[in-house]
Chain A
Amino acid sequence: MLQAEVEETIKRIQSQKGVQGIIIVNAEGIPIKSTLDNSSTVQYAGNVHQLLMKARGVVRDIDPQNDLTFLRVRSKKNEIMIAPGKEITDLD
Chain B
Amino acid sequence: MFTDETLDLIGAESTWRKSHQQTQESRSCQTLPVHTAEAETQAKAVLDNSTQTQDQISQTLSLDQNICHFPGLLDFLHRAEDVVTKELVKNSKSHAFDGFEVNWEDQNESVSCMHRLQHVDAQERGLQVTSVSWNCTGSVIGCGFGRVDDGDWSNEKAYVCMWNLDRQKLNPKRPDVIIGVVTPVMCLCFHPLKPSVVAGGLYSGEVLVWDTSRSQDLILSQTGMSADTHREPVYRVSWVPGARRGEFTLLSAGSGGRVLLWTVDGAEAKLILSSGYALVQQQVPQSGAASKTPGITNIEVTSVALSPWDLDTFLVAVPPDGESVTLRAPVQFSFSTRGGPVHSVHFSPFHRNLFVNVGTDSLAHLHTVLQPRPLLSLRVSDSYTFGVRWSPTRPLVFAAATGQGLVQMFDLGRRSLRPVATIDQNTSGQPTYCLEFNPKHTNLMAVGNADGSVSIWQLSAELTEQGAKETAMLEQLANEVAD
Q: What are the residues of chain B within 8 A of A31 when measuring CB–CB?
A: 57, 61, 63
**Contact assessment for B80 and A18 in the assembled complex, using a CB-CB cutoff below 8 Å:** no
Q: What are the residues of chain B within 8 A of A79 when measuring CB–CB?
A: 91
Residues of chain A at interface, number, CB under 8 A:
38
Partner of A32, one of B70, B81, B91: B70
Q: How far is the CA of A42 from the CA of B57 in the complex (A)?
A: 7
Who on chain B is nearest to A26 by CB? Answer: B70
Who on chain A is nearest to B465 by CB? Answer: A76
Residues of chain B at interface, number, CB under 8 A:
31
Q: What are the residues of chain B within 8 A of A85 when measuring CB–CB?
A: 72, 76, 79-80
Who on chain A is nearest to B64 by CB? Answer: A33
Per the 8 Å Cβ criterion, residues 7-58 of A in contact with B are 9-10, 12-13, 16-19, 24, 26, 30-34, 38-39, 41-42
| Residue A59 at the chain B interface, CB threshold 8 Å | no
User: CB-CB contacts of A64-89 with B at 8 A, as 1s and 0s?
Assistant: 00000110101011010101011110
**Contact assessment for B72 and A88 in the assembled complex, using a CB-CB cutoff below 8 Å:** yes
| Residue B74 at the chain A interface, CB threshold 8 Å | yes
Partner of A16, one of B63, B83, B85, B466: B85
Q: How far is the CA of A61 from the CA of B87 in the complex (A)?
A: 25
Q: How far is the CA of A90 from the CA of B74 in the complex (A)?
A: 12
Who on chain A is nearest to B72 by CB? Answer: A87
| Residue B88 at the chain A interface, CB threshold 8 Å | yes
Partner of B74, one of A5, A13, A81: A5
Q: How far is the CB of A49 from chain B (nearest CB, A)?
A: 12
Per the 8 Å Cβ criterion, residues 48-97 of B in contact with A are 57-58, 61, 63, 65-68, 70, 72-74, 76-81, 83-85, 87-89, 91-92, 97
| Residue B468 at the chain A interface, CB threshold 8 Å | yes
Q: How far is the CA of A43 from the CA of B66 in the complex (A)?
A: 23
Q: What are the residues of chain B within 8 A of A30 when measuring CB–CB?
A: 57
List the interface of chain B (C-beta within 8 A of A).
57-58, 61, 63, 65-68, 70, 72-74, 76-81, 83-85, 87-89, 91-92, 97, 102, 466, 468, 471
List the interface of chain A (C-beta within 8 A of B).
2-3, 5-6, 9-10, 12-13, 16-19, 24, 26, 30-34, 38-39, 41-42, 69-70, 72, 74, 76-77, 79, 81, 83, 85-88, 90, 92
A-B contact pairs, 23 of them (CB 8 A): A3-B67, A5-B74, A12-B81, A13-B84, A24-B77, A26-B70, A30-B57, A31-B61, A32-B63, A34-B63, A39-B58, A41-B61, A70-B87, A72-B87, A76-B102, A77-B471, A81-B87, A83-B84, A85-B80, A86-B72, A90-B77, A90-B84, A92-B88
